Amino acid sequence: MNTKKYGPWLVALLIIAPFIYGAIIFPQLPSQIPTHFNIEGKPDAWGGPSSIFLGPGIMGGVSVFVYVLITNLKTFDPKKYDEANKQLYNNFALLTVVFLSVLSTIIIYSSTHADQTNVGNLILPFVGLSFAGLGWYMPKFKQNYFVGFKLPWTLENETNWDETHKVAGKLWIYGGLFQAVVTFFLPMKIGIIAFMLAVAIMVIIPSVFSYRMFKNGNQIKNTH
């Protein structure tokens, strides 16, 4: 798909979609709906029906910011890496907006079905699958200041960046799939603990790998 040509229109449609969903169900909303959920996925704060549009508003603003930033990476990035694949970043920017739009829709659905659905069993598996998708992208990212593991050693050395993101990519794919499964099937408290432990592993291992590689003179051997 030509994301340069159709990307902004798709972004606008994705941002509007949750608002349309909210407008459709608005007449059937009760006088109070959940606006926040605790660690067990149960509502612990409430607001009026109009609060149904708060989430889409925030997510929409974030979507515009992220899309503009990523699609203009070469402009905003002081290093202006010439090897950056613009089409790759355009696709990634669009997928990020898709993620935020779906997340916004899930939040609306959870707010209106709090008595039937545990919000955590919907959001956390979706986030886990998104992490897995990000893992697939990671090895494809060239050095930049905005996307990826932006460590002193990865930004200083291209080989360190590439090898670190190869490791991180595999780890995030498997880690994200693990998060999706455990948070869907396990009780909420246990699922959240497993989810956060997986996040820690997914961040710490690539960071340690990158540092060890730096200490080895950015040589690939003896860093695995």
Same domain, 155 and 59: no
Same domain, 98 and 124: no
Q: What is the pLDDT of residue 182?
A: 94
Same domain, 94 and 203: no
Same domain, 165 and 81: no
Same domain, 83 and 186: no
Q: What is the pLDDT of residue 1?
A: 54
Same domain, 113 and 219: no
Q: What is the pLDDT of residue 127?
A: 94
Q: What is the pLDDT of residue 179?
A: 96
Q: How many domains are contained in the chain?
A: 2
C-alpha to C-alpha distances, 195 to 150, 205, 216, nearest whole angstrom: 23, 16, 32
Same domain, 65 and 101: yes
Full residue range of the structural domain in which residue 223 is found: 118-224
Neighbouring residues of 187: CB distance < 8 A, sequence distance ≥ 6? none
* The last residue of a domain, from among 117, 133, 152: 117
Among 141, 210, 146, 199, smallest CA distance to 172 is for: 199
Same domain, 4 and 106: yes
Same domain, 193 and 105: no
Same domain, 29 and 128: no
Same domain, 48 and 108: yes
Q: What is the pLDDT along the chain (224 residues), one digit of tens a residue?
A: 555 667 788 999 999 999 999 999 888 888 887 777 766 667 777 888 888 898 889 999 999 999 998 888 777 776 655 555 678 888 889 999 999 999 999 888 877 776 666 677 788 999 999 999 999 999 998 888 888 899 999 999 999 999 999 999 999 999 999 999 999 888 888 889 999 999 999 999 999 999 999 999 887 764 44
* The last residue of a domain, from among 62, 87, 117: 117
* The last residue of a domain, from among 87, 117, 147: 117
Same domain, 219 and 132: yes
Q: What is the pLDDT of residue 88?
A: 83
Q: How far apart are CA 12 and CA 194, in angstroms?
A: 35
Q: What is the pLDDT of residue 224?
A: 45
Q: Which two structure tokens, joined as six digits, stand for 177?
A: 């799939």
- DSSP line for the chain: --HHHHHHHHHHHHHHHHHHHHHHHGGG--S-EEEEE-TTS-EEEEE-GGGGGHHHHHHHHHHHHHHHHHHTHHHH-TT--TT--HHHHHHHHHHHHHHHHHHHHHHHHHHH-TTT--THHHHHHHHHHHHHHHHHHGGGPPS-SSSS---HHHHH-HHHHHHHHHHHHHHHHHHHHHHHHHHHHS-HHHHHHHHHHHHHHHHHHHHHHHHHHHHTTS-STT--
